[in-house]
Structure 1
């Protein structure tokens, strides 16, 4: 299976070479594939804020490379470069508040920096750490894809109808994808009849990104408006909802793209299994429950405007971009460390104690 998955890797969103970071501008997909070059931590922070790069694992990877770029500039400037670099850490940390992978990656980079006793080989060491974060995410994607696929096979061996929300594919990660990685693996094993993709307002990550990724892989895919999800569960025989996550708290509550919570409620009502796929770096054991997660709210213009043109009445706008799905609505959390069924605090604590998959 691993060889099949590696052969199926076609899309990447992040590239590091020549001492610069290159990001595929996801705001322009699928109409245009434009790569942008970034040479400073400030530019990377702005790219994260502006949604050039998005998806929790991808944000963390980009931020790690942002630290390397910051170190390059600070070392070249001379003086107290460590103090100067701290400003870049803070700038990157402030770029988006909800996805914990961002803070996890920055902490990894900070710890690597703290282990360096002098200035010798600083850039090489920081670059190696960022590259390692990128590579480990790719490996985690491959492991999660196989684990999730096996769950689908276990519960019903024949072709099944799946549903997903937002984009948790190669564009959102350093490799094969989380939720879409599972769907891709299931497709390769002949387990997928069709995938229904929520459009995911207001940024349309499902319509622009997920549908594009799946169609490119030859997966039978249908796009639907977000409000059609419950109806499709009822009439199309959906057997699984499979989503990613931006943060999972110690008790198993899941923060993900706005609309995930209502999908989970609808899934429980219709007897549809609900799977969350995310690397262990998404699990924040420092937060007890989803009530503690900072949920980002973005500008109302994202709803008021379409293509720069007004489409709504001039009224107040509520635009939260994440919601929290309670753990009791989740059937499985799939990580590279293993699978947690019906998650709770005890099960997640046991999972996070593992150093590798058993």
Structure 2
């Protein structure tokens, strides 16, 4: 998103996050100054998208340490532990959250001999590093992904895997940005992405800001457009990739992948290595978050569902590896169609 809006920014004493619940109508920032307030912002979808959640969590730990750095050591340790716990419970599907918390916990273990103010400084410095790393990773991923899109490509995306889902540039939308920067003419179809409308509110807004041609469609229109030859490729992000290449992403992604396979359209997933969870053998083991039913009843204050109806609201689904043409990472492109057990693990370990 380059010069437009920063998803997360440090103001000297707190982490400020653009409130994604009210975009595109208003641009407002919410400041968080503790682990608990960051956890609430993640849970309430002020900030969303796996990479951005990871960055926010790192700042949450740092803020808790800053807040308690002059307290007694037992109070400091207890508060920090409670902060880790609150952040870990905020959203269960996005593995970047746990990756960032694990990195911060290892710092704590490594620097236990340091005094509390020094430790708080180390935490904050690492949170800044994670934010900068995320932008660098997205730019590298974007360049690899751009090579997969011929000039003139009409590309479908689902949900928002843009600068708003990361520290900047984006994963799937970063591929589009990089392709345009490379001089390619790219046009985007954005699924509206029910029920939270991340495509309609966020992806469409980002693309309009960048003057990248974008057409908004409802989630049930993509098959029609594919059957008419109007879509050349699909690029989405992901919240977690299992060791066998199965991919968890926003609910509705699986249906898009099935349709793409039916119409012989390449289906690409843009994912930083931190999103690949080698501890899970397959996508069946990925925890799927169930969100509040009010999101399905309607939108904001407008409810259209009848009272008393049963509602399900799984926030993610799992796309089997066989439906994913390739994974686009910051270290290169992984051909998912020929992926065998152990190959993805070898790739991750070699490039970490």
Shorter-chain TM-score bucket reads over 0.9
Give 1:197's aligned residue.
Answer: 190
Aligned to 1:57: 51
Moved more, 345-354 or 207-216: 345-354
| Paired position in structure 2 for 1:76 | 70
Deviation at 1:193, TM superposition (A): 4.2
CA contact (8 A) 1:252 1:289 kept: yes
- TM-score normalised by L of structure 2: 0.95
The alignment status of 1:159 with 2:155, answered yes or no, reads no
- For 2:326, the equivalent position in structure 1 comes to 332
Report the counterpart of residue 111 of structure 1 in structure 2: 106
How many angstroms apart in 1 are the aligned matches of 2:340 and 2:90?
A: 30
1:213 matched to 2:206: yes
TM-score normalised by length of structure 1: 0.94
Q: State the alpha-carbon separation in 1 of the partners of residues 285 and 276 from structure 2.
A: 13
Name whichever of 201-210 and 10-19 sits farther off.
10-19
Give the superposed CA RMSD: 1.4
- The answer for the alignment partner of 1:27 in structure 2 is 21
- Offset at residue 10 of structure 1 (A): 2.8
Corresponding position of 1:345? 341
Q: Judging changes above 3 Å, is the alpha-carbon distance between structure 1 residues 88 and 339 closer, same or farther for their aligned structure 2 residues? A: same
- Measure the CA separation in 2 of the matches of 1:49 and 1:344: 35
Shift of 1:158: 3.1
How many Å separate the matches in 2 of 1:216 and 1:73? 37
How many residues were matched structurally? 346
**CA distance in structure 1 between the partners assigned to 2:144 and 2:299 by the alignment:** 39
Task: For 1:221 and 1:249, locate their aligned partners in 2 and report how far apart those are by CA, in whole Å.
Answer: 31
Alpha carbons 1:161, 1:236 under 8 Å: kept: no
* Greater CA drift, 25-34 or 119-128: 119-128
Query: What do residues 154-173 of structure 1 show as CA deviations (whole Å, max 9, x unaligned)?
Result: xxx43111000000000000
In structure 2, what is the Cα distance between the partners aligned to 1:75 and 1:281?
Answer: 29
User: C-alpha separation between the residues in 2 aligned to 1:56 and 1:240?
Assistant: 23
Q: Distance in 2 between matches of 1:254 and 1:355?
A: 20
Match of 1:89 in 2: 84
Single out whichever of 81-90 and 96-105 deviates more from structure 2. 81-90
2 CA distance for matches of 1:355 and 1:277? 16
Q: Flag as ranges the 4+ runs of structure 1 deviating above 6 A.
A: none
Instruction: Provide structure 1 residue ranges, at least 5 long, that are not aligned to the other structure.
Output: 1-5
Instruction: Check whether the contact 1:160–1:239 (CA below 8 A) recurs between aligned residues.
Output: yes
The Cα offsets for residues 257-306 of structure 1, whole Å up to 9 and x where unpaired, read as 00000000000001110000011000000000000000001111111132
Counterpart contact for 1:303–1:317, Cα < 8 Å: yes
**Aligned partner (choices 255, 262, 266) of residue 269 of structure 1:** 262
* Stretch deviating more after TM superposition (309-318 or 52-61): 309-318
From 95, 101, 122, the equivalent of 2:96 is 101
